[in-house]
Amino acid sequence: MKEKVLIVEGGYAEHRPGPVMPGFEGIIGKSHLLLNVFDNIIQVAPTDTSILILGESGTGKEMIAGCIHKLSLRKDQRFVKLNCAAIPPTLIESELFGHEKGAFTGAFDKRIGRFEQAAKGTIFLDEIGEMPLELQAKLLHVLQDKEVDRIGSKAPVKIDVRVIAATNRNLEKEVADGRFRLDLYYRLNVIPITLPPLRDRKEDIIDLAEYFIDRYNRKSGRKIAGLSDRAIKSMMAYHWPGNIRELEHMIERCVLLAKGPIIEDIPVNPKNDQGAGNPETQIKTIQENERDHIIAVLRKCNGKIWGPGAAAEILNLPPTTLRSKMKKLGIQKGY
């Protein structure tokens, strides 16, 4: 069997596919689609405009947000993140804008919100499409007037913060369905940057796989030298619904479980991909079953994760755990 071995000279420690451009360290890939994204970022990073990063789950939106900050004039100030889907809707307001002592039951101390924490720097609002409608109005006010109102405070605080938001939702559809404010959409969408899904930049798959083999070799102390032709073929044929995150987790697993010096096979079955084949006759992995079960429950709950009768409760999982499982398994809106 012909092997694709990654180590050429100097051993794995010297193997570094990419980065291609300064400022994008750790972002692997040289497909023209990704290089176009880099070009756009280089142009807009030094401005102070809001940026909306669009793309499926696991395409690297958070990494790109970090690059934009590092390439901006605010690079020496703080980069503060908030994942709007990771905290209950009732807490987002206080997380973002802060509160005064005694502002509500349980507000034992004054709290500085993320906007104030990001003073003179950048705030990254991940999964902005999950932000409740009533908070969207408050966010718009912050963006327009450049001041925040801590809950329970009468005096607004002036802020100078650049906003980068990201979503894997189709925000235009969210606007059309009345779930996202049009005025906020316009405000955030000044510069949209769209990250292509991995299946549209297959040229990057092997570079990424090599990079992750290197990373997980170091973490585990293993010395996996590369991928067999068969593994490469499977990877190139696969649809990668969970994008780079899915690829990373798969390589991690393969590095840990490989029986020989290279990864012989990748546990993806393109026939199971994109709904092809007869599901009745397919033997699924535990992970595939878990994915299908979570999707079935989400459909039953109309995609609701938090709250009584929602998916997390039915599955007996903390909502944040369910969220991270969804990410890991590549489950996103439109399942």
Ligand X SMILES: Nc1ncnc2c1ncn2[C@@H]1O[C@H](COP(=O)(O)OP(=O)(O)OP(=O)(O)O)[C@@H](O)[C@H]1O
CB of 195 to ligand X, least distance (A): 7
Can residue 171 be called a binding residue for ligand X (CB under 6 A)?
no
Interacting stretch for ligand X, rule CB under 6 A, among 39-47, 144-152, 244-252, 301-309?
Answer: 244-252
Q: Which of 59, 122, 217, 228 binds ligand X (CB under 6 A)?
A: 59
Can residue 57 be called a binding residue for ligand X (CB under 6 A)?
yes
Can residue 174 be called a binding residue for ligand X (CB under 6 A)?
no
Q: Which of 72, 122, 136, 168 binds ligand X (CB under 6 A)?
A: 168
Contact 82, 123 (CB under 8 A): yes
Interacting stretch for ligand X, rule CB under 6 A, among 51-59, 71-79, 169-177, 258-266?
Answer: 51-59
Quick one: 205 or 224, whose CB is closer to ligand X? Answer: 205
Can residue 331 be called a binding residue for ligand X (CB under 6 A)?
no
Can residue 197 be called a binding residue for ligand X (CB under 6 A)?
no
Can residue 67 be called a binding residue for ligand X (CB under 6 A)?
no
Can residue 328 be called a binding residue for ligand X (CB under 6 A)?
no
Can residue 114 be called a binding residue for ligand X (CB under 6 A)?
no
Give the nearest residue (CB) to ligand X: 60
Contact 63, 105 (CB under 8 A): no
Q: Which of 174, 210, 214, 248 binds ligand X (CB under 6 A)?
A: 248
Can residue 98 be called a binding residue for ligand X (CB under 6 A)?
no
Contact set with ligand X (CB under 6 A): 27-29, 55, 57-63, 126, 168, 208, 244-245, 248, 327
